[in-house]
Structures are given as structure tokens and as C-alpha cells.
């Protein structure tokens, strides 16, 4: 069970990053050019939200079964333990909230505005800053 979830969360992270970048670039492009919201941008936004939400749900389950997310009296003193037990979950949760707000803001206007693009960029910054890069890419 742990193994499957760990692999899923690890692989799905590529899609999460990809959709985050695509969301920011595309919504930013539409906003700069003051384009009307269309089916494409609405669908991209929908799937970005879906991908982030699924990663969140798997992450929360993983949090309770992963040996890396354990709490001891040394958790805050150990940077890696602190990353898994606290910084990663909190910042990723913030990213999911930001993307969700970006998606609902995007859906509310006919002309694409800059706000969802900026929220998308902030979400991406949260994700990139707290990925355990060494463990992920090795
Ligand atoms: C703890 C679990 C979850 C919570 C609390 C949650 C919460 C939310 C909230 C508050 C929204 C915003 C709705 C709005 O904009 O009006 C939303 C949107 C969305 N969620 Fe979740 N969600 C969860 C799990 C999931 C899962 C597992 C999926 C799919 C695999 C998912 C897919 C989506 C999609 C696609 C949207 C965008 C809907 C749209 O644009 O019409 N969510 N979710
Ligand atoms: C939504 C954005 C998220 C992304 C992009 C993401 C990405 C990642 C990545 C790349 C790893 C490293 C996987 C590896 O070592 O191969 C990881 C591990 C982990 N993530 Fe996330 N994550 C997200 C959200 C969350 C959330 C919300 C939680 C918990 C509430 C969470 C809990 C964990 C845990 C516990 C691990 C360690 C798993 C293990 O190796 O035992 N993640 N995450």
C-alpha cells in the first residue's frame, strides 16, 4: 500500500509541475493579450485543479503511512525530517488552495485577467520550493 502510494505521488508530481507551468504560461499569455476565456483555457484550468487535488489527497494519505513524515522530539532540528513532516505538506497545501482560487477566479470573468496567472505563479513557487529534490530525482 505504502509503496503504491509513494510511487504514484512521485510520478504524479511530474504532471503537477507540468500542469502548473502550463497553467501559468497559458493564463499569463491570455491575460497579457486580453483574450476572451474559451473552452481550451477553461479545460486546462479544470485539469490543473484536478491534478493538484488528486496529488493532495494522495499526499495526505501518504503523510500518515510514510516513515519520513514521523514526529519525534528532534523533528524540528532535523532539516529533512522537518521538510517531510511540516514544510512540504504545509506549502503544498497552500499551493493547492492558490490553484483552486485561481481556477474559480478564471471561471468568473469572460476576459482573462492577470490575477489567476499570478496566483498560479505563487502556487508554482510553493511547489518548487518544497519538493524534496534529492530524494525525488535520485
Ligand atoms: C480532500 C479532498 C478535496 C477537497 C477538500 C476539494 C475541494 C475543492 C474545492 C473547494 C474546489 C473549488 C470549487 C469551486 O471552484 O467552486 C474544488 C474544485 C475542484 N476539485 Fe476538488 N477537492 C478535493 C479532492 C478532489 C479530487 C480527489 C479531485 C479529482 C481527482 C478533485 C477535482 C477537482 C476539480 C477538477 C475542481 C475544479 C472544478 C471546476 O472547475 O468546475 N478534487 N475542490
Ligand atoms: C500538491 C503538490 C505536491 C507535490 C508536487 C508533491 C511532490 C512530492 C514529491 C516530488 C515527493 C518525493 C517523492 C520521492 O521521493 O520520489 C513527495 C513526497 C512526499 N509528499 Fe508530497 N507533494 C505534494 C503534496 C503533498 C501533500 C499535501 C502532502 C501531505 C499532506 C504530501 C506528503 C508527502 C510525503 C509524506 C512524502 C514522503 C513520501 C515518502 O517517500 O515516504 N505531499 N511529494
Is 64 among the domain residues?
yes
User: Looking at the domain assignment, is residue 119 inside a domain?
Assistant: yes
Nearest Cα to Cα of residue 74 among 88, 65, 84, 66 = 84
Does residue 113 belong to any structural domain of this protein? yes
- Flag whether 106 is in a domain: yes
In a domain, 33, yes or no: yes
Instruction: Check: CB of residue 71 under 8 Å from CB of residue 86.
Output: no
Atom of ligand 1 nearest to the CA of 104: 15
Q: Cβ distance 52 to 19 under 8 Å?
A: yes
Range of the domain at 123: 2-133
Task: Give the model's confidence band at 33: pLDDT under 50 very low, under 70 low, under 90 confident, else very high.
Answer: very high
Q: Output the pLDDT for position 2.
A: 95
Give the distance (Å) from ligand 2 centre to CA of residue 88.
7
State the pLDDT at residue 138. Answer: 84
Q: Is 108 in the pocket of ligand 1 (CB under 6 A)?
A: no
Total domains in the fold of the chain: 1
Q: Using the atom order of ligand 1, give the atom closest to the CA of residue 45.
A: 40
Judge whether 23 lies within some domain: yes
pLDDT digit string, tens, across residues 58-107 = 999 999 999 999 999 999 999 999 999 999 999 999 999 999 999 999 99
Residue 138, in any domain of the structure: no
Report which ligand 2 atom has the smallest distance to the Cα of 132.
12
Which residue's C-alpha comes closest to atom 34 of ligand 2?
63
**CA-CA distance, 103 to 65, in Å (whole number)?**
31
Q: Are 6 and 62 in contact (CB under 8 A)?
A: yes
Amino acid at each position: 500500500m505504502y509503496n503504491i502510494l509513494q510511487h504514484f505521488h512521485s510520478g504524479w508530481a511530474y504532471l503537477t509541475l507540468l500542469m502548473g507551468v502550463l497553467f501559468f504560461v497559458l493564463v499569463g499569455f491570455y491575460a497579457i493579450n486580453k483574450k476572451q476565456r474559451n473552452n481550451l483555457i477553461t479545460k486546462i484550468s479544470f485539469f490543473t485543479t484536478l491534478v493538484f487535488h488528486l496529488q493532495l489527497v494522495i499526499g495526505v494519505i501518504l503523510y500518515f503511512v510514510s516513515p519520513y513524515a514521523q514526529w519525534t522530539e528532534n523533528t524540528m532540528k532535523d532539516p529533512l525530517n522537518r521538510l517531510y513532516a511540516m514544510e512540504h505538506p504545509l506549502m503544498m497545501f497552500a499551493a493547492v488552495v492558490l490553484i483552486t482560487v485561481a481556477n474559480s477566479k478564471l471561471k468568473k470573468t469572460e476576459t482573462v485577467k492577470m490575477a489567476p496567472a499570478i496566483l498560479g505563479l505563487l502556487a508554482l513557487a510553493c511547489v518548487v520550493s518544497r519538493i524534496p529534490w534529492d530524494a525525488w530525482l535520485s
